[in-house]
Structures are given as C-alpha cells and as structure tokens.
Structure 1
Amino acid sequence: MNYQISPSLMCLDMMKVPEQLSFLDEKADMFHVDIMDGHYVKNIALSVDFVRQIKPYTTIPIDIHLMVAEPMDFIDNLIEAGADSISVHAEVISSYAFRLINHVRNSGKKVGIVLNPATPIEVLNNYAHLVDKVTVMTVDPGYAGQPFIPEMVEKIKKLKQFREEGNYQFLIEVDGSCNKNTYNLLLNAGAEVLIMGSSGLLKKDIPLSDTWQIMQNDIVQSLSA
C-alpha cells in the first residue's frame, strides 16, 4: 500500500530545527506547515517568514495548512516565500472559493481543501475537480495532541468513494492523531498522506532517527495485522 509522510513542522523541537529539518528532508515526502492567526483558531503557529527561512534548506515540497480567517491575505506572500502547495479550510472560502483556487493554480502551485470534522464532504461538489488534495481533520483544528475522532474513518471512506464516482484526481490526506493506534484504520479507509505530529513522530524526549524508525515499523505492522 502506497502512502506519503508529511511531518508537521509545528511539532519540531525549536532548539534543534536545522538538524531535524535536514534529517526529515531526506526521509519525508513533503513538509506540513501550519499557519494560524489566532482568529480562525485560538492559537498562533508558524508564519510566512518561517517558510521563507526554511525554503533554501529543503528539497521536498512545502505544503501550507492555512488555519486563518482570511486566507487570501496570506496567499501571495506564501507563494513568494516558496510554498509549493496551499491548503485552506472550506468553511472560510465559500464566498470566494473559485477565485482563491484559481489564483493558486494560476501561480503554478498546488491547492488543497481542508474539511473540519463537522464539515460535510458535499462542500466539495462544485470544485473537487480543481483541487490537488483534500485533507480530513480527525481532530478539531488548532492544537496538537488531541484525541482521535473515530467517526472520521467513515468520512475518509466516503471521500474515497466520492473521488472514484466523480473521477477526481485529488490525494486524500489525514491531519490529526496519526499514530500506531490509527494507521491501520486510516490507510485501509483510503488515506494516502499522513501528517505526522507529536503522537506519531516528533517526540522531544526521543531522537528523531529513532522515532522515524519506530513510525515505519508501526505502519508496516499495522498493515500486516
């Protein structure tokens, strides 16, 4: 079974960013960068400047997850900073979804849509053919380390069916509680990109080389169970 790993850079040890970034750049498929504005979610995370600073030291795609109230305010600066793909929440773009999606696409970047746990798949109906990735949140957005919402397994299955019936091309990504307790459920439901944070990979008390190997072993074992 094919899958991609996208480490959440918000969960890096900020005292070891250069060495952890270098290690992950050789192992992962893309980098996941959370940007929060303190309005859409009550938290502040990474920034456009962070993307600009790490870009020269990365060879894999930088994938932005915008948890902000006004994503259009960030798009052009992120493109200039070096973002390779930008994902936005469906809940905040209803009045300008096509303008935003087409602007990102016309800039030569990939675009994704993020669905909160309570957001139905049907919001994708009119623009699913235009997006490169759909992210299913398996926790409420805004904070790392939250408990997994089990109802999202069925949602991932429905999203995969939705893609097949519409002959869409987007990847199915999962954000939240990707770890040894959920790998089997998520991958067998149809997940193709796993965002790896504090529960599955980035643990401050264990060397990253060790947690990477543990993660890979856990995934292999879960798929053979």
Structure 2
Amino acid sequence: MSEHINISPSLMTMDLDQFKEQITFLNDRVDSFHIDIMDGHFVPNLSLSPWFIEQTRKLSYKEMSAHLMVTDPTFWVQQLINIKCEVICMPAENLTGIAFRLIDQIHAAGLKAGVVLNPETSVCDIMSYIDILDKITIMTVDPGFAGQRFLGSMLDKITELRKLREEHGYRYCIEMDGSTNKAHWKMIHDAKPDIYIIGRSGLFNLADNIEDSWNLMIAEFEEATGRKFA
C-alpha cells in the first residue's frame, strides 16, 4: 500500500554549492521547506535567516516554515512577518508572558503560528495556548546542530499530541525534527507525525546529486516501513 509522506527538507543541511539545483528538484516533490534560524545564544550555533528565505523564494513556490532557536522570538517574529513567511515556529521555552501576543500577531498577518518542543520540554508546558496553534514541532534530537543522537522516547509526545487533537478537535499539525533516516524511519513512521523534517543523514548526504539522494531516501523509507512512497 502506498501513502503520501509530507516531507519538509531542512535547508540548513543542504549543499549550498548546489542550491539552485536542489531547490528546483525538490519543488515538485515536497510540501514545504524547513528553515532553521539560530542566534548563537539559545543554541551555540548560527544558521539561516529571513534573508535566506527571501532568496529561496526566488526559486520556490512552496510553503516556508521557520524554526526559531532564539532567545528573543519577538525580534525575529516581526522580521518573518515582514517577509510573509508562511509558518513561524517559536521555542516554547522562551514564550512565557508573550505566547498569546506573538501567536495573535502572526495570525493577524494571515500566517500560521507554531511552537517547538525541545527534548526537555513537555506537552503540558503549552496547554494554555495549544488550542490556537497551527503546528507543533517535536525535537527528537538536542537542538542546534545536525547529527545529534536520536532520542526515541520523544516520539511519545507525538502520540500524546495526536490523542489530544482527536479528543478536543485541535487544529495543529504535528511535525518531528531530528535524525529522520534509515535507522529510525520505522519507529518515526509508527508514531505517525503529519510532517517529517529530513536533513543530512536522511537525504542530502546520501549521494552526490539530489536526484540520486531522493531516490535512495525513498528506497530506505520503503525498506524500513514496508510501505510504498507516493
């Protein structure tokens, strides 16, 4: 049996010397692009930016989803609103006292608002505003760097969020981020996230060119899950 898998490539892990080639190829095959924005404080790394989203938009018509790993989400949210980034996902750990304000600000601009739960952060921490979220991202690795150890127990949060959504009619989609690759495809697929973020180990590093990498990713998914990739 085949099924559609909602793939969101993490552009932090792509080959920038093949930027145009990779974006052009992926445009017709993925549902969205995942853009990590780090400030060097919330996590000890720097990554992409609103400017990068603007450059990607010159080649892509797909939805852009920004993953903020920052200490001051207010500063970055306004920049992303200015460029009309379709989805803005904020770190739950830094939303105390400003969650409703920022979510309302994003919605008022006609955009989607999400939060990211890092491994140490539980679903109960976002229950006061879960009903107005459009997306919840579950980190299955420590944030900030590619290639971190996979934390399989974090998949339990996906199961918990699916149950809450079914019971209460919440509208959020559930996304997972971290080590989506051959070793973990089966357990991730069994948890049933709505969106799979996939990066270096699951896509971009599988071959020297994006078409071969994509085909290898599909083969690994099908081998691990026993399902046909549609």
Structure 1 and Structure 2 fold alike (TM over 0.5): yes
Superposed CA deviations along residues 93-142 of structure 1, whole A, max 9, x for unmatched, are 11100000110011001111100011011122111111111110000110
CA distance in 2, matches of 1:104, 1:165: 26
- Asked if 1:215 corresponds to 2:182, the answer is no
Aligned equivalent of 2:63: 61
- Residue in structure 2 matched with residue 47 of structure 1 by the alignment: 49
1:8 aligns with 2:10: yes
Using the TM superposition, give the Cα deviation of residue 205 of structure 1 relative to its aligned residue in structure 2, in angstroms. 5.0
Per the alignment, in what secondary structure is the counterpart of residue 201 of structure 1?
helix
Determine the C-alpha separation between the residues in 1 that align with 2:199 and 2:165: 26
Partner of residue 17, structure 1: 19
CA contact (8 A) 1:178 1:194 kept: yes
- Matched residue type, 2:70: V
Residue 135 of structure 1 is aligned with which of 119, 134, 137? 137
The answer for the alignment partner of 1:32 in structure 2 is 34
Hey, what does 1:93 align to over in structure 2? 95
Normalising by structure 1, report the TM-score: 0.95
Comparing 187-196 with 100-109, greater Cα deviation is found at 187-196
Further displaced range: 57-66 or 210-219: 210-219
Name structure 2 gaps, 5 residues minimum.
Answer: none
Q: Which residue of 2 aligns with 1:120?
A: 122
How many aligned residue pairs are there? 225
Gaps of 5+ in 1: none
Q: CA deviation at 1:40?
A: 0.4
Q: Secondary structure at the match of 2:149?
A: coil
- The question of whether the paired residues in 2 share the 8 Å contact of 1:62 and 1:82 is answered with no
Cα distance, 1:4 vs. partner? 0.5
CA contact 2:10–2:34 (8 Å) conserved in 1:
yes
- Any conservation in 2 of the 1:55–1:82 contact (CA below 8 Å)? no
Shift of 1:10: 0.5
2:81 maps to amino acid: I
Q: Residue 156 of structure 1 contacts residue 190 of structure 1 at CA under 8 Å; is this kept in 2?
A: yes
Q: SS at 1:151's partner residue?
A: helix
Runs of 4+ in 1 over 3 A off after TM superposition: none
Identity %: 39
